[in-house]
């Protein structure tokens, strides 16, 4: 059980690590001053590809559920994230966003009926403190609009995590199709705002195309598939705390590729973030793990007995019936012999 939780956590943390590379790719490969366009291109193409490949659309009440999840996890979240980035220094925006696990903790108690434990609260505090040490600098400042947008973005992502955990996936729909629906909805929400506010660049270079391709295929399509898989298999708070790896990855990549220095305080922050992630992983190892997804979640199109309804009771074993039939002739034969003796 612990090995499985460790593997699921190690795989899920790859998503925020990839997201931590967004700043590097945006500054080095994308056209300047078009963050909303980058968010739209990041979400919409991958979402359409996965939706077309899955050859399925939501049905019934899943239409409004996908609209809600796509807005919370992708569309509205991206928009508020960039509003916070425009009004706050990057470090302050990251610190405000790090309050997300606290929202997840509260929503999990309300919607998932999960018990709040001291270990989980400690991991939230440790991770937030670590992010603060990683990203805060002397230029830190506060702006009411930026702080409100950062808190709103954190609440959106937290709600998306908890509702994805609560609702699961519709029967017969694979993980990639489910991911594609949300990316497509989020991209469709962002694209009109991006075109109205920023417009299209005058020209695109091959570096721009490569950057957009990385954000769409790796940063969205693959990363969100891994992220939603983790939400299915791990406690919601554990997944949220793994998100602390994103600012850690951004700091490390900035040091390696952008020659940004690392201070001792940032080193302590990195240790604190790693400690919070490990603490969350230990906590998830003690939680009952989610069962393996039934066959329909793998995209096979076949429903399991659990999804279709209660399973039928198992028929009696043929061997048991043979044994009972083998015993029954003996008493009958004995009773016939007794009757013949009485008649004689």
Indicate the pLDDT class of residue 285, thresholds 50, 70 and 90.
low
Could you tell me the CA-to-CA distances from 281 to 11, 13, 155, 249, 266 in Å, in that order? 12, 11, 22, 18, 23
Indicate the pLDDT class of residue 1, thresholds 50, 70 and 90.
low
134-158, pLDDT tens digit by residue? 887 665 566 788 889 889 999 999 9
State the pLDDT at residue 224. Answer: 96
Residue 12: alpha-carbon gap to chain centroid: 8
Q: Average the pLDDT over each of 22-31, 43-52, 295-304 and give the range with the smallest value.
A: 295-304
Mean pLDDT of the 52-73 span: 96
pLDDT at 226 over 90: yes
Specify the residue for token string 């009485």: 342
Average pLDDT along the chain: 81
- Whole-number Å distance between alpha carbons of 36 and 80: 10
DSSP assignments along 84-134, one per residue? HHHHS-HHHHHHHHTTHHHHHHHHHHHHS-PPP-HHHHHHHHHHHHHHHHH
Q: What is the percent of the chain with per-residue pLDDT over 90, rounded to a whole number? A: 44
Cα dihedral 204, 208, 213, 219, rounded to 10, equals -140
CB 97 within 8 A of CB 150: yes
pLDDT: which is higher, 244 or 298? 244
pLDDT at 161 over 80: yes
Indicate the pLDDT class of residue 283, thresholds 50, 70 and 90.
low
Mean pLDDT of the 172-200 span: 95
State the pLDDT at residue 286. Answer: 59
CB 276 within 8 A of CB 44: no
- Whole-number Å distance between alpha carbons of 172 and 164: 16
Exposed / middle / buried, residue 79 (Cβ in 10 Å: 0-12, 13-18, 19+) = buried
Indicate the pLDDT class of residue 331, thresholds 50, 70 and 90.
very low
pLDDT at 90 over 90: no
Mean pLDDT of the 91-103 span: 82
Mean pLDDT of the 120-132 span: 90
pTM: 0.78
Q: What is the percent of the chain with per-residue pLDDT over 70, rounded to a whole number? A: 79
pLDDT at 191 over 70: yes
CB 84 within 8 A of CB 93: yes
- Whole-number Å distance between alpha carbons of 267 and 255: 12
Indicate the pLDDT class of residue 207, thresholds 50, 70 and 90.
very high
Cβ–Cβ contacts within 10 Å for residue 257, how many?
Answer: 11
Look at residue 242 and give its three-state secondary structure: helix
State the pLDDT at residue 335. Answer: 45
State the pLDDT at residue 138. Answer: 60
pLDDT at 296 over 50: no
Which 3-state string (H, E, C) describes 144-161?
HHHHHHHHHHHHHHHHHH
State the pLDDT at residue 284. Answer: 57
295: which 2 tokens?
Answer: 């066959």
Mean pLDDT of the 298-324 span: 37
Question: Whole-angstrom distance between the N-terminal and C-terminal Cα of the chain?
Answer: 73
Rounded (5°) CA angle 308-314-318: 145
- Whole-number Å distance between alpha carbons of 55 and 269: 45
101-116, pLDDT tens digit by residue? 999 999 999 999 888 8
State the pLDDT at residue 142. Answer: 66
Indicate the pLDDT class of residue 91, thresholds 50, 70 and 90.
low
- Whole-number Å distance between alpha carbons of 69 and 108: 16
- Whole-number Å distance between alpha carbons of 243 and 238: 9
């Amino acid at each position: 059980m612990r090995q499985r939780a460790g593997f699921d956590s190690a795989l899920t943390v790859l998503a925020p690590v990839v997201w931590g590379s967004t700043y590097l790719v945006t500054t080095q490969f994308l056209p300047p001053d078009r963050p909303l366009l980058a968010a739209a291109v990041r979400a919409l193409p991958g979402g359409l590809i996965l939706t077309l490949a899955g050859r399925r659309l939501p049905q019934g009440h899943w239409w409004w559920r996908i609209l809600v999840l796509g807005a919370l996890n992708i569309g509205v979240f991206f928009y508020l994230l960039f509003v916070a980035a425009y009004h706050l220094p990057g470090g302050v925006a990251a610190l405000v966003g790090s309050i997300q696990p606290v929202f997840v903790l509260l929503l999990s108690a309300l919607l998932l009926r999960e018990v709040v434990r001291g270990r989980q609260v400690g991991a939230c505090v440790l991770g937030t403190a670590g992010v603060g040490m990683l990203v805060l600098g002397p230029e830190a400042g506060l702006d009411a609009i930026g702080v409100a947008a950062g808190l709103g973005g954190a609440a959106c992502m937290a709600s998306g995590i908890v509702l994805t955990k609560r609702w699961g996936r519709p029967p017969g729909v694979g993980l990639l199709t489910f991911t594609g629906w949300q990316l497509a909805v989020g991209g469709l929400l962002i694209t009109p705002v991006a075109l109205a506010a920023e417009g299209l660049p005058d020209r695109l270079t091959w570096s721009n195309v490569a950057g957009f391709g990385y954000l769409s295929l790796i940063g969205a399509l693959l990363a969100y598939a891994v992220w939603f898989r983790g939400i299915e298999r791990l406690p919601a708070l554990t997944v949220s705390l793994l998100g602390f790896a994103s600012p850690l990855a951004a700091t490390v990549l900035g040091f390696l590729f952008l020659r940004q220095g690392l201070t001792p305080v940032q080193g302590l922050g990195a240790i604190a973030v790693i400690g919070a992630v490990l603490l969350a992983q230990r906590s998830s190892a003690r939680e009952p793990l989610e069962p393996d997804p039934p066959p329909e979640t793998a995209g096979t199109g076949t429903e399991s007995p659990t999804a279709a309804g209660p399973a039928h009771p198992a028929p009696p074993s043929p061997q048991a019936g043979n044994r009972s039939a083998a015993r029954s002739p003996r008493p009958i034969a004995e009773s016939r012999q007794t009757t013949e003796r009485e008649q004689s």
